Amino acid sequence: MFSRDTPYEPGGGTSDRIKSSISASPSMAIIFLCIVSFFLEMVPGIGSLYIDTFQFNPSSILTRPWTLVTYIFLHAGLGHLFFNMIVLYFFGTALERKVGNKQLLGIFFTAGILSAIGYTFLSRPIFDIYPGPMVGASGAIYGVFAALTVLEPNLRVYVYFVPMRLKHALLLFAVFDFLMVNSTDMIAHTAHLSGLFVGLYMGYRIKRMHDKYIRTRFAGRW
Residues 157-204: pLDDT tens digits? 988 889 999 999 999 999 999 988 877 777 889 999 999 999 999 999
Average pLDDT, the chain: 87
pLDDT at residue 71 is higher than 70? yes
pLDDT band at 9 (very low <50, low <70, confident <90, very high): very low
Q: What's the pLDDT at 108?
A: 97
Question: Which of these ranges, 49-63, 101-115, 137-151, 202-216, has the smallest mean pLDDT?
Answer: 202-216
pLDDT at 131: 85
- Ordered by start, the domain boundaries in the chain are 15-217
| Predicted local distance difference test score (pLDDT) of residue 50 | 96
CATH 1.20.1540.10 for domain 15-217, yes or no, is yes
Distance of CA 150 to the CA centre of its chain: 15
pLDDT of res. 22: 63
Identify the weakest region by mean pLDDT among 52-56, 89-93, 211-215: 211-215
- Angle, helix 13-24 to helix 26-41, in steps of 10 degrees: 110
Residue 55 has pLDDT above 90, yes or no: yes
Q: How far is CA 141 from CA 50, 60, 113, 214, 221, in A?
A: 23, 24, 11, 28, 40
- Dmax over CA atoms of the chain, in Å, equals 69
pTM of the full predicted structure? 0.85
Is the model more confident about 19 or about 189? 189
Q: Which residues make Cβ contacts (< 8 Å) with residue 99, sequence separation at least 6?
A: 107, 147, 151, 206
* Confidence check: pLDDT of 8 > 50: no
Residue 4 in this model has a pLDDT that exceeds 50: no
pLDDT at 3: 35
Give the C-alpha distances (Å, rounded to integers) separating 1 from 4, 5, 8, 51, 125.
10, 12, 11, 48, 65
What does DSSP assign to residue 49?
A: H
H-only helix segments in 76-165:
78-87, 93-99, 101-127, 138-151
